[in-house]
Amino acid sequence: MSFFDKFPAMERTDLRDLKKGIDSSFKEFSRSWGEGIEAFFDPLFYFLVNFEKLLLATPWPIIIAIVAALSYLGSRSWKLSAGAAVSFLVIGYLGMWNNTMSTVALISVATFICIALGIPIGIAMSKSDRLQAIITPILDIMQTIPIFVYLLPVVMLLGIGKVPGLIAVCVYAMPPIVRLTNLGLRLVDKEILEAADAFGSNYRQRLFRVQLPLALPNIFAGVNQTIMMALAMVVIASMIGVKGLGVPVLQSIQNQYLALGLMNGLAIVALAIIFDRVSQQYGKRLQRHREGGNDV
């Protein structure tokens, strides 16, 4: 009866050896390959560092003007544009300017990477059911695995700093854009695609003239989600040495600085709202053709 009382688990020593084996082989791997992998990510590092330096070196009135202009270009709304400018003024007045610039740099670069990788992956997925079956569980893992679990190997490989932080943010923020690109392309009306084929479109013409434009609202929802999730990672990224608004939040948790945490936390919220509203308005404008007056 002891079979039912006690779970037939692995011998404790075997289990310990297994774990040890995995640990030591990964350590071995990171010792021999760590530098190479670090070198591989160097361009990313320089890109991020230089972008951050550029933002910090630019005089603040110019940054605010750019923020207001970009908000207006995206949303075509003076209110939103003015709101963004005021938020940045308040953030700067409360002494969070440099941290905010660092965070904006990180989010921008992370979003850029997610789009550059995520959209092609999404396109490939929409073409092949098998690829979709392979990638979907990977995306599930990326979104649900506790962040610290993959932070550890990344830190072991690359050490503490901006690049591992960036990778952590991208791992977490990329799934929505991949999923929604795939979904958007698959949802394009079959009859419209048949029409495209009937007129002799080749693969590129079909993709760029018909499928992508029609999937754009979904793809854009993916971009929006990616930005939001990247912002949500700012505090955790600060734990592995990424500068920005996350650092003071982390300090406030450790030292019970209520006001410090609140202010920096609200600054993150302000950034999120600005990014979200502007990108949503822009996405809506892309769909102006849907506002038919005359429904058939």
Partner 1 sequence: MSDYKIEIKNLYKIFGPDDKNMVELVANGLGKQELLDQHQHVLGLRDVNIGISASSINVIMGLSGSGKSTLIRHINRLIEPTVGEIIVNGENVLAMDQDKIRDFRRFGASMVFQNFGLMPHRTVLENAMYGLNIQGVVSSEGEKRAQHWLDRVGLSGFEDRFPAQLSGGMQQRVGLARALATDADILLMDEAFSALDPLIRADMQAILLDLQDELHKTIVFITHDLDEALRIGDDIAILRDGELIQKGTPQKIVLKPANDYVADFTKDVNRARVLTLDTLSHEVGSKKGLPLESNLPIEDAMQKMVESKFDLITVMKDNKSIGQVSLDDMVAAISRPKPTDSGSTTNYR
Q: In angstroms, give the least distance from the CB of 192 to partner 1.
A: 6
Nearer to partner 1, 2 or 202 (CB): 202
Contact partners, residue 183, CB within 8 Å, separation at least 6: 218
Residue 254 to residue 266: CA distance in whole angstroms: 18
Q: In angstroms, give the least distance from the CB of 174 to partner 1.
A: 26
CB under 8 A: which stretch of 51-59, 122-130, 163-171, 285-293 binds partner 1?
A: 285-293
Is the CA virtual torsion 45, 47, 52, 53 positive or negative? positive
Helices (H), the chain: 2-5, 12-57, 60-75, 78-93, 97-127, 129-144, 147-158, 162-187, 190-198, 203-205, 212-232, 234-238, 246-255, 258-286
Q: In angstroms, give the least distance from the CB of 39 to partner 1.
A: 43
129 binds partner 1 per the rule CB under 8 A:
no
Q: Which of 51, 83, 57, 58 is nearest to 68 (CA)?
A: 83
Cβ proximity of 262 and 193 under 8 Å: no
Nearer to partner 1, 35 or 189 (CB): 189
Q: In angstroms, give the least distance from the CB of 129 to partner 1.
A: 16
Q: In angstroms, give the least distance from the CB of 188 to partner 1.
A: 10
Residues 165-224 that bind partner 1 (CB under 8 A): 191-192, 194-202, 205, 209-210, 213-214, 216
Nearer to partner 1, 98 or 201 (CB): 201
13 CB-contact burial (10 Å; exposed 0-12 / middle 13-18 / buried 19+): exposed
Nearer to partner 1, 161 or 213 (CB): 213
Residue 96 to residue 90: CA distance in whole angstroms: 9
Nearer to partner 1, 5 or 191 (CB): 191
Q: In angstroms, give the least distance from the CB of 220 to partner 1.
A: 13
- Name the residue type at position 230: A
Nearer to partner 1, 124 or 206 (CB): 206
Contact partners, residue 232, CB within 8 Å, separation at least 6: 172
**Which residues bind to partner 1, rule: CB under 8 A?**
191-192, 194-202, 205, 209-210, 213-214, 216, 288-296
